[in-house]
Structure 1
């Protein structure tokens, strides 16, 4: 690995999957912007570069990969993506009915309206994005894998068009989706109190949703897409 500060975030996450926990704690966006170097990520978040480098060095020292560590195959990653689509939909289904009950005081009425609005937008964006992936992107990616393995497939490549442009559009849609997530997080940060009843349930559900969303975007941007690009060269 090159100098840590010049290493891309996606290289860290590919080679040391558990490092995403450290990046999450530092609020470093490795999922949408895995192509940033550690130095660029620190500049974006106004973090002290040397301090972060020291933390990364310590993490790598204390968390070496097992001797039998293997990066997941594209087939396995695509299976995971399809499952996490379902998990995200289910978690959103849990969140929706609790959102109108989150802010109880009248002074928070505008926040309540915005929370419901942004959550609805997020659900719609994810629904459309996942539908396109399930109907076109993921089957095409599997097709590339099958061709590499010598399997015959009838999937029509022309549905995708220019692969590089297609992946860039997917990444941009991930950024748009992530912005809605961040806006909801900002709204919830304005809430004062420990939370109780439905509020506590919503906060816990949203925390689980956030984890799913980050893992989903990270898996596609940093693991699936690089493999797809490499396969397409063949």
Structure 2
């Protein structure tokens, strides 16, 4: 993978967020220079796969979001460069390893059902990056997605976050600026790298969209910068 992002394709589909204000992702491209106590009512999850070590560095990336946001489909698309829509929700963990020319990355997804969200914070301290997936067309649950995101990152001011505004191809989906406002991203401070990208998965078997390719390149670049 070349290190250069397709900035022209990104401009209409992504926002880089800094200082509480949205700026074009083009500007970023130019500058890139757990056991824990469990709630009694919840059954214990098995331990997740350990982070992969690559050249001495842990490359684990945490993938979170509400159930139905499309996390598993996104991960499959990133790993294979082809689309596979998933209808079964993740119950527990889902780990996928992705290799690029520069690094080997492990994506650790935790299911987004209400009974699983208690576990999310347990895995934040040891990850390099948070990928947070939201369903752009699920207007009724965007306030919940917002609340959970803000709770996740309130005690970590430097953790890089990539927000994927997924299902942009669904009728009625909010555009990027609407997602930015619905998640109140301007309220998150200015000490972290934060990016908002509009994504979608197309028909089964087809190649992934340019926006998914851009998201993959961005995540890989952030991992290299954060190691």
Normalising by the smaller structure, the TM-score range is under 0.3
Query: Greater helix share, 1 or 2?
Result: 1
> Which structure: greater strand fraction?
2
TM-score normalized by structure 1? 0.24
Q: TM-score, normalised by structure 2?
A: 0.24
